[in-house]
Chains A and B, each alone.
Chain A
Amino acid sequence: MTSTLLHPRIVTAFALLLVGAGLSITAWQGPDDAMLVPRFVLTIWCATALMVLIGELIRRAPVAKAQRSPLPLLMAAVLIAAIATASLGFLIPALPLVALTLWLFRVRQPLWLVLGTLILGGGLWFLFHHVLLIRLPTLLASGLI
């Protein structure tokens, strides 16, 4: 029973319902004028999320066997790099992220890994930031890196 309830589709639907309900509380506590449309939207959100949840519970999709995958590592790397950009600038978080992406997608030869990281990470950053002058977040106030 517990394993059925912990099915990813049911958990997703339940999480969406919870988020919708939480945001609804915020919307109903806010100013009437500004929150007029959000209240309407969130009401539809909660109603549809509830119906989706009931649908998922009735359907009882088969529980897939859990597999070990490094995908959460890639996801975490993307999120950490995105958060780190605000304080470390664009280049420093981008290099390890590109290297990890290449590694996970099976570019394992050291030469190709280093070249790929430098060209895709460093090269594109240099092209946009210094050549095309599309200013990306920087570590130093001077804008060098």
Chain B
Amino acid sequence: MDIVLAAAADAFTWQALLAIVVGTWAGIIIGGLPGLGSVVGLTIFLPFTFGMDVITSMALLIGVYCGSVYGGSITAILINTPGTPQAAATTFDGYPMTQQGRVGEALGWATFASFFGGVLSCVMLIVGAPQLAKFAVNFGSIEVFALVCLAMLCIVGVSRGSTLKGILCGMMGFLFSMVGSDPITGADRFTFGQYALSSGLTLIPVVVGAFALSEIFVRFASRDDEAARIPEARLTFPGLRDIGRRMVELLRGSFIGGFIGALPGTGAAAAAFISYASAQKLSPRRQHLGKGEPDGLIASESSNNAVTGSSFIPTLALGIPGDVVTAMMMGAMVIHGITPGVRLMADQAQTVYALFVVLIIVNVAMLILSKPSIGLFRYLFKLPQGFVMGGIVMFSFIGAVSVRGNPLDLIVAAVTGLLAYVLRRGGYPLAPLVIGMVLGPELESSLRRGLLISRGDFSAFFTHSTIASVLFVLIALFIAGTLWSGFSQWRKDRAAAGTPAA
């Protein structure tokens, strides 16, 4: 108990609190700008931390990280353009709510779900980090393969009404992720002799192209249409009764995010899609998902923000960074004298607990700062549409090229933008493209590693462990359920077509 109090005292210094406010606010703004996400935010703020003490510097960076994950939802809801890949699933229900004139409600639910997921994952981190780390170690390649297969099935759900087109876009995204060097053998794939393509295509340029640039083209095509105007951003927090009614969804999304974050190599975007897939099967209002249902927003936002806390579990407890962002955070920790790994809790327990306290304060700060941040976006989006679109073009270009500094990423963003516009006009849903690209690399590498472990015997996957077997049974049930509901719907439609109009 003494150590927790000492850690809280470390976290509640004025320097740390100031760093949290500055970092979180900057993170929300950076996350809200298309193309700029956690990586760019951390890159901007990392050099400023060199002169700070450990807790203050980590408070600044954690603020930027958590703020940017939440900030991505603002533009996803307002203009159908996720600021970060983690917020791609937020567009499924967030933007339809905006089109229905429910902007305040959508932003309110996104903010509250982000806060709830973030705080719950901090509690999970404090209470169960060692246990969760031990359980996460049980997830080998085959279990991860089964989990990612289950998540991939959400492609069917997000492409309601055009399942075949959704699957096609999912495969396209999967194939995008395969361009470059093969992760196991190192052989070049789909590079067509171009050296620049050997490093592969990264997610951010594809998301920038698919959502931000294609949205500009769509808005340009309908620039005389009043319905295409950007609505005024406002925030209406849900009432206690509404929160109580959707508590199960909030808890489910947060636990899924908390658990996925603890698995190395998955990340917040994957967590959001997995959580959305589970909402499609388990939410009592699942028939409204994709049409502007807060449960979809809650699934996406609570899980992606829950990852921000739990992603520290493999980073701190095992010394394994889960993704690029946690790798950068780990680098910052090493710079400031914290050495993540199995000895960390024993050697620097006070510092670790101080980081946990900082995480909770960051989430509270995020809730408080959401209103002024959204106010800033309201001011920005009040500008004539030309300035907003010009700004989005610039931020998209900067965001696409800044992650790796590779001009190829800009060409990828532009080509994806053109392709996405054509696909949108043809009635193809774009979300599966991103789902395929997010989950594809993990699916492939876990399958290939699993095949190496089982000496090429795929049937061994089903009996490898209890966790894997349970996950494969869930996949079978999901497919059977989807086929059955499709068949029932077809029979209903047929019966309705056969009934003469009264």
Contact = CB atoms under 8 A, between A and B. Distances in A.
A binds B: yes
Interface in B184-242: 184-185, 187, 189-190, 192, 213, 216-217, 220-221, 223
21 contacts: A12-B422, A42-B175, A51-B164, A71-B217, A74-B220, A75-B217, A75-B421, A78-B417, A79-B418, A81-B397, A82-B413, A83-B414, A85-B407, A101-B389, A105-B223, A105-B390, A106-B385, A121-B394, A134-B398, A134-B402, A136-B398
The 3 closest A-B pairs by CB, nearest first: A105-B386, A82-B414, A107-B386
Given A41-B175, A105-B389, A107-B384, A69 B221 contact: yes
A47 B469 CA distance: 29
Contacts of A135: 402, 405
B423 interface: yes
Given A83-B414, A97-B393, 12 more contacts: A23-B175, A26-B192, A38-B178, A42-B171, A55-B164, A71-B220, A85-B397, A90-B398, A105-B385, A120-B391, A121-B390, A136-B401
Nearest to B221: A71
Given A134-B398, A137-B401, A38 B448 contact: no
Interface string B407-418: 110110111011
B426 A9 contact: yes
A116 B386 contact: yes
B332 interface: no
Contact of A33 (B47, B182, B213): B182
B223 A78 contact: no
A48 interface: yes
A83 B409 CA distance: 10
Contact of B168 (A48, A79, A101, A137): A48
A83 B393 contact: no
Contacts of B390: 98, 101-102, 105, 107, 116-117, 120-121
B425 interface: yes
A41 B40 CA distance: 32
A8 B426 contact: yes
Interface in A22-61: 23, 26, 30-31, 33-38, 41-42, 44-45, 48-49, 51-52, 55
Contacts of B189: 30, 34-35, 38
A82 B410 CA distance: 5
Interface in A123-145: 124-125, 128, 132-137
Interface of B: 40, 43-44, 47, 164-165, 167-168, 171-172, 174-175, 178, 182, 184-185, 187, 189-190, 192, 213, 216-217, 220-221, 223, 384-387, 389-391, 393-395, 397-398, 401-402, 405, 407-408, 410-411, 413-415, 417-418, 421-423, 425-428, 443-444, 447-448
A30 B386 contact: no
Contacts of A137: 401, 405, 407, 410
A41 B178 contact: yes
Nearest to A98: B390
Interface residues of A, number: 59
Q: Which of the listed residues B40, B384, B398, B417 has the most CB atoms from chain A within 10 Å of its own CB?
A: B398
Contacts of B168: 16, 45, 48-49, 52
Q: Which of the listed residues A94, A101, A121, A133 has the most CB atoms from chain B within 10 Å of its own CB?
A: A101
B47 to A, nearest CB: 7
A86 interface: yes
Contacts of A23: 175, 190
Contacts of A98: 390, 393-394
Nearest to A30: B189
A12 B423 contact: yes
Q: Which of the listed residues A55, A85, A106, A125 has the most CB atoms from chain B within 10 Å of its own CB?
A: A85
B178 A124 contact: no
A1 B415 CA distance: 31
A49 B389 CA distance: 33
A78 to B, nearest CB: 5
Contacts of A37: 178, 443-444, 447-448
A38 B182 CA distance: 10
B442 to A, nearest CB: 12
A88 B221 CA distance: 29
Contacts of B448: 36-37
Given A31-B187, A78-B393, A105-B385, A128 B178 contact: no
Contact of B43 (A38, A83, A134): A134
B425 A31 contact: no
A104 interface: yes
A107 B388 CA distance: 11
A78 B386 contact: no
A75 B385 contact: no
A128 B398 contact: yes
